[in-house]
Amino acid sequence: MNTVIASPPPAIVNVLRSLGVGEVNIGVSTGHDPFMGKGEEIISSSPVDGAAIASVRSADRSEYDAVIESSQQAFLEWRTWPAPKRGEVVRQIGEELRAHKADLGKLVSYEMGKSYQEGLGEVQEMIDICDFAVGLSRQLHGLTMHSERPEHRMYEQWHPFGPVGIITAFNFPVAVWGWNTALAWVCGNTCVWKPSEKTPLCSIACQRIVNTVFKRNGVPEGVGCIVNGGREVGEWLSKDHRIPLVSATGSTRMGRAVATAVGQRLGRSLLELGGNNAIIISDKADLDMSLIGCVFGAVGTAGQRCTSTRRLIIHDKVYEAFKAKLVKAYSQLRVGDPLDEKNHVGPLIDKDAVNNYLRALDLAREQGASIVVEGGVLEGEGSGCYVKPAIIEARPDMSIVQEETFAPILYLLRYSGDLEEAIAIQNGVVQGLSSAIMTLDLREAERFLSASGSDCGIANVNIGTSGAEIGGAFGGEKETGGGRESGSDAWKAYMRRQTNTINYGTSLPLAQGIKFDL
């Protein structure tokens, strides 16, 4: 049961060991005792240097069924724990994440390829949502309503669903799981996690951390489970009547498949899918401040965020000036090993992502776009997954501009009229996740945020499209799926609503004044 560690740097080997994933090969875990899966082997390779980090066995169907049964049994007890007591467990998980932040952030960076600072930020998101969930555990409130009938009281309350299936993507291999589990656990649900097969070690590390807390608190086995594997595991979850809610993060194509499968059995799905996010640069914008948000939004995580900035809609009056600022900023970007904090941009996740990036550049040229900053694959890098951030002048109606390419490609689009023209361009795509406007004009800002403004789930003023805080609900509209995770009242997605009416009188009057005498 030893992992196959090929040639990661010694510092990474030490990180793996400190997180408990350097000695044992784990495919399945029901929360206490992880064990090797019986399915196909998954090789975790780092896009940083191309090294094979470890092998993980995926689960077969029998192991999957055992995990679901364990999760169902655990739910029967876990739902009876007072919500503040469940919150105390989540609080301790947050403390363990604090203690392991540096190592887990480094593992995220190395296995996924994002910068070390972004890896640390992802772990911090998990810590933040744990803090949020602790407070929430004392505020799972319903409403009270006046009854039309005398000596009656009406109110509503919220109850947990049961096992919640969580499907996550490679680009945020730990944070999105944290968003879901922290809320689902304090609400009284159990969780079954299907992580991306591209980042299995991150899931194992998180499970190790959680297991420590669960054992210490006597949490029933099955409250938190992982099932590593490929597409088939996601299909099992989506079609499984024992899973009342499936939360899935990934591509729009994947989301359609999940929604169809879950909908056919009348289950519930929470979908966080693709984004084609735009920033409007008004002629009344602070261009220097705008530059920071645009560049980070476009090249952060090598353009592999669902909230990455893909389109800039720039007013004619400032177009050339802002383009010149962008070109200068891009010339200063350093692409390389994300664990070296002097670098701005790490690698794409794998060779398939590189091919999609190159395809998008070719299509842009074929459709008549003009290359402002040339892209291409960097030579001499070990993994072959390092690419140059590109800037392309394009038209809004080009089909490539309408697509989401998970890579650092930024399209520049012009507008010359009023703000309505820019908003129409921004809204003129099928995705609806994140959006922003850069302006110092209060009227423009408020119009952008109004019902006739941005049609996205997230709309910002004078900040970029990426970098959402956990205090607000996260999610988008249209083909982004319509789900909401993280803050605000997103907890309601993990619970079922129940309306209660209590008669404390001596007679039984009927609603709407109906008479029914015996």
Tens of pLDDT along the chain (518 residues)?
233 344 788 899 999 999 988 654 445 556 554 445 788 889 999 999 999 998 888 999 999 999 999 999 999 999 999 999 999 999 999 999 999 999 999 999 999 999 999 999 999 999 999 999 999 999 999 999 999 999 999 999 999 999 999 999 999 999 999 999 999 999 999 999 999 999 999 999 999 999 999 999 999 999 999 999 999 999 999 999 999 999 999 999 999 999 999 999 999 999 999 999 999 999 999 999 999 999 999 999 999 999 999 999 999 999 999 999 999 999 999 999 999 999 999 999 999 999 999 999 999 999 999 999 999 999 876 789 999 999 999 999 999 999 999 999 999 999 999 999 999 999 999 999 999 999 999 999 999 999 999 999 999 999 999 988 999 999 999 999 999 999 999 999 999 999 999 999 999 999 999 999 88
Q: Which two tokens stand for residue 456?
A: 């996205």
Q: Is 23 a catalytic residue?
A: no
SS3 for 122? helix
d(CA 406, CA 478): 19
The type of residue at 145 is: M
- Cα separations (Å) of 84 from 81, 111, 211, 465? 8, 35, 19, 35
Residue with tokens 């640069």: 281
DSSP string, 402-415: HS--SSSEEEEEEE
Upper half-sphere CA count for residue 43 (Cβ side, 13 Å): 10
Rg value, the chain, Cα: 24
Contact indicator for 46, 107 with CB cutoff of 8 Å:
no
pTM for the whole structure: 0.95
d(CA 14, CA 6): 14
What pLDDT score does 36 carry? 57
Under DSSP, the state recorded for 48 is T
What backbone torsions phi and psi does residue 193 show, to the nearest 5 degrees? -105, 125
Q: Which two tokens stand for residue 371?
A: 């290359």
d(CA 425, CA 406): 21
* Residues found in the chain: 518
What pLDDT score does 1 carry? 27
Q: First vs last Cα of the chain: how many Å apart?
A: 73
What pLDDT score does 158 carry? 98
- Give the Cα-Cα-Cα angle 412, 466, 422 (nearest 5 degrees): 40
Catalytic hit among 111, 221, 272, 404:
272
The type of residue at 467 is: G
Q: Pairing relation of β-strands 390-393 and 458-461?
A: unpaired
Contact indicator for 328, 294 with CB cutoff of 8 Å:
no
Cβ neighbours around 327 below 10 Å, total: 12
Residue with tokens 């049609």: 455
Helix, strand, coil percentages in the chain from 3-state DSSP, rounded to 5:
40, 20, 40
Dihedral of CA atoms 165, 170, 171, 172 in degrees, nearest 10, equals 40
d(CA 205, CA 100): 10
Q: Which two tokens stand for residue 276?
A: 């084609």
Catalytic hit among 202, 206, 225, 306:
306
Q: What is the strand order of the sheet 409-415 is part of?
A: 370-373, 390-393, 409-415, 309-315, 277-281, 434-438, 458-461
Under DSSP, the state recorded for 465 is S
Q: Which two tokens stand for residue 507?
A: 């007679």
The type of residue at 330 is: Y
Q: Is 477 a catalytic residue?
A: no
Under DSSP, the state recorded for 344 is S
Q: Pairing relation of β-strands 277-281 and 309-315?
A: parallel
User: Which residue, among 93, 129, 168, has the nearest Cα to 488 in the 3D structure?
Assistant: 129
